Amino acid sequence: MVRDGDYVAVFNSIHRVMKAEKVLKGRQLGILLIPVPRALQSDCGLAIRYGADIRESVEGALAEEGLLPAEIYVKQGEAYRKVG
């Protein structure tokens, strides 16, 4: 589900992740709502996955809307590295 090099934005509430999904899809960005990977911890249970090619657009849109994620990770091999 999450490919090597993909980014995963983890939010601290279901309300925020759903609002973020609506904003990003409204801007026609190629994101996907996914279950939080088992290797990561989250109270919410859902996360947003996006590719490196649209990272700047996704994170910029979230910042504009005041919907910054609690944490952002990038998948590297079998592990996730926290970024930002």
In this structure, the chain runs to a length of 84
Q: Spell out the domain ranges in the chain.
A: 7-83
Cα 29-66-35 angle, rounded to 5 deg? 55
Give me the pLDDT at residue 43, please. Answer: 78
Give me the pLDDT at residue 79, please. Answer: 96
0.85 surpassed by pTM: yes
Helix (H) or strand (E) holding 79: strand 79-83
CA 78 – CA 75 distance, rounded (Å): 7
Helix (H) or strand (E) holding 74: strand 71-76
Encode pLDDT of 31-83 as tens digits.
Answer: 999 999 999 987 789 999 999 999 999 999 999 999 999 999 999 999 999 99
Query: At the topology level of CATH, where does 7-83 sit?
Result: Alpha-Beta Plaits (3.30.70)
Give me the pLDDT at residue 1, please. Answer: 81
CA 34 – CA 1 distance, rounded (Å): 8
Encode pLDDT of 4-21 as tens digits.
Answer: 999 999 999 999 999 999
